[in-house]
């Protein structure tokens, strides 16, 4: 089963609004990464947050990590039509297979 | 720097055939990972190669194999294709062995098995 579970599965908002996506995972991790995927194309790395960090910013992106709750959130502020994409969290588990484990993703639609 | 390239971009094969997909990583990157993406199973890790050695392998049958060349280019091969192998196959490169570092993805190869 997937390590990361995104919530919601789909989100539709108006341009200019903020979008928040959540990711929950099951086992202890070294780091958590967020990726964006435009329809049927490759993934683009957005941000990496390590297990000893609580919050990171990159432009209009803000990521938080709560290791006690095994959850992370991605906030996109002042959304734009170009932000329409699927967003995935990927976790790097401390134990088990040494691979990134992706969640099922959140499909974000920004309406003009 | 040029990004990760994958060839071909689209492929249609028949059940029972075999297929080889190619991935050229970003110059200087030594790690290449392969993923399979389907609507039902999402993104699943296939394997990772680093300096021509397979470092990690996902839970896929032996029909799925890969290799990496001295110039870090990688190929994956799927033999005896099944309908369920229809998917978007993505490769990703990173400068170091992949999971703790950001990965740079190629555009993918869309494989359709009929």
Spatial CA neighbour of A102 closest among A3, A18, A13: A3
Each residue's pLDDT tens digit, A101-110: 899 999 999 9
Question: Backbone phi, then psi, for A109, in 5-degree steps?
Answer: -120, 125
Q: What angle do CA A34, A24, B39 make, to 5 degrees?
A: 65
Beta-bridged to residue A72, according to DSSP, are A23, A65
Confidence of residue A2 (pLDDT cuts 50, 70, 90): very low
Q: Does B2 touch chain A (CB under 8 A)?
A: no
Mutate to test the interface with A, among B25, B37, B43 (most CBs of A within 10 A): B43
Each residue's pLDDT tens digit, B21-51: 999 999 999 999 999 999 988 999 999 999 9
Q: Does A104 touch chain B (CB under 8 A)?
A: yes
Each residue's pLDDT tens digit, A29-61: 999 999 999 987 889 999 999 999 999 999 999
Question: Two tokens at A44?
Answer: 């683009």
Q: Å from B98 to nearest chain A CA? A: 8
Each residue's pLDDT tens digit, B43-70: 999 999 999 999 888 999 999 999 999 9
Chain A residues whose CB is inside 8 A of the B92 CB are: 43
Query: With an 8 Å Cβ cutoff, are A40 and B108 in contact?
Result: yes
The string of DSSP letters for A16-79 reads: TS-EEEEEE-SS-EEEEEEEEE-TTS-EEEEEEEETT--EEEETTEEEEEETTTTEEEEEE-S-
Chain B residues whose CB is inside 8 A of the A48 CB are: 101-102
């Amino acid at each position: 089963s997937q390590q990361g579970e995104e919530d919601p599965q789909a989100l539709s908002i108006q341009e200019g609004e903020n979008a928040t996506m959540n990711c929950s995972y099951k086992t202890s991790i070294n780091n958590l990464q967020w990726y964006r995927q435009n329809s049927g194309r490759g993934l683009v790395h957005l941000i990496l947050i390590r297990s000893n960090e609580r919050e990171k910013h990159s432009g209009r992106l803000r990521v938080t990590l709560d290791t006690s709750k095994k959850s992370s959130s991605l906030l996109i502020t002042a959304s734009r039509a170009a932000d329409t994409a699927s967003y995935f969290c990927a976790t790097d588990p401390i134990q088990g297979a040494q691979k990134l484990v992706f969640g099922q993703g959140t499909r974000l639609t920004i309406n003009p | 720097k040029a990004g990760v390239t994958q060839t071909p971009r689209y492929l249609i094969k028949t059940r029972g055939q075999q297929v080889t997909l190619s991935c050229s990583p970003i110059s200087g990157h030594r790690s290449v990972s392969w993923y399979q993406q389907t609507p039902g199973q999402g993104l699943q890790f296939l394997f990772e190669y680093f300096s021509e050695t397979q470092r990690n392998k996902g839970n896929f049958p032996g029909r799925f194999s890969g290799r990496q060349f001295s110039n870090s280019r990688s190929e994956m091969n799927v033999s005896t294709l099944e309908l369920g192998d229809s998917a978007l196959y993505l490769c990703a490169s990173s400068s170091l062995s992949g999971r703790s570092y950001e990965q740079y993805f190629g555009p993918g190869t869309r494989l359709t098995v009929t």
